[in-house]
Structure 1
Amino acid sequence: MSASTAATARAARPAELPRTRRAPLTAVSGGAAQRGSRLDVVRAPLRSKSRVPFLVLCATLMVVSLVAVLVLNTTLARGSYEMSELQGEVAQTAQDVQGLQEDLSAAETSLPDKARSLGMVPAENPTMVSLRTGKVVRGTDR
């Protein structure tokens, strides 16, 4: 090595810190010197927690929510069928009522003709009993 390379190498090294003297090591009471040179058991480092319980919880929530949606959908479909059946019954009842009203109006219009054919005559002065008062009322007094 030449003198210039040695100077460069010294300049490249960091400046050495002055060495300080350390205090001597001494045994502390309760240490290994009193117990013997026995090794102590040290607990293993903690591992990260498993993700399995979290995944099981998520899967359970998904299954429960899917079952709830299925039950809700089935209930709504059943209600829809019952509603359409009841609407059909209401329509049928409305048709029956309309038919009976037509029969009644036809009977009212044909009633005087049937009464004459049976020999009945209209009353000249009808007499009735008032249900409110219990008195006999003549048709002209109304």
Structure 2
Amino acid sequence: MASPLRTARSGATPDRRRPDSRERPTRPQLTLVEGGRHPGNALAQGAGRVIAWTRTRSTPLIHVVVAIVFLSVCLIGSLLLRTEMVQNSFQATQVQTSISDLTQDVQDDQNALDQLRASLPDKAQEMGMVPQQGLTSIDLKGYQPPAQGDAKGGR
């Protein structure tokens, strides 16, 4: 089987797909657009354009209004949520500061109590107290409660 012939293109034959480089492209013409900007009623003109645009489209005006209201509510809701989060963060910081202050106070009081406990034996000796020498026990096996008539203040 014979293979198909390959051809080499040269610039001698013009390519029909490419425009001729000798032809100049036409230059677009400038035209004047009437209707400038009126600073007094820009909002009214914008609203009028939106209404006119919705009349030329298949989307009714109510859909555009609902979309604008939905976006506005979302914006206000996100702002309120962010404000609430900032307030909660501020309160959490204040509570954290209070907790650390109270913890420091408890540690100071615990240190003072430990110092008082450590100085207690020295103060007892200064007052003339002696440490206990042994265990003292009381045996209640032979204990008899006093009779009703023998008690103090009897009848």
| TM-score normalised by structure 1 residue count | 0.53
**1:105/1:89 Cα in 2 relative to 1: closer, same or farther (>3 Å)?**
same
> For each residue in 1:81-110, what CA deviation from the matched residue of structure 2 results, as whole angstroms up to 9, or x when unmatched?
110010011101110111011101111111
| Distance in 1 of aligned mates of 2:137 and 2:57 | 101
Aligned to 1:88: 97
Q: Distance in 1 between matches of 2:137 and 2:58?
A: 98
Higher strand share: 1
Q: Distance in 2 between matches of 1:125 and 1:111?
A: 20
Q: Provide the identity percentage.
A: 30
Which blocks of at least 5 consecutive residues in structure 1 are unaligned? 1-46, 130-134, 136-142
Picking from 106, 130, 147, the partner of 1:97 is: 106
Matches within 5 A, 1:100-115: 100-115=109-124
Q: Take 1:108 and 1:102, find their aligned partners in 2: how far apart are those partners?
A: 10
What's the TM-score once normalised by structure 2's chain length? 0.49
Q: Answer 1 or 2: which has greater helix percent.
A: 1
Question: Structure 2 regions of 5+ residues with no counterpart?
Answer: 1-55, 141-155
Aligned-residue offset at 1:126? 3.6
Larger relative contact order (Cα-Cα within 8 Å, sequence gap ≥ 6) = 1
Q: CA RMSD in A?
A: 2.3
Flag the structure with larger Rg: 1
Pick from 66, 70, 78: which aligns with 1:61? Answer: 70
AA paired with 1:54?
Answer: H
Give the letter aligned to residue 121 of structure 2: P
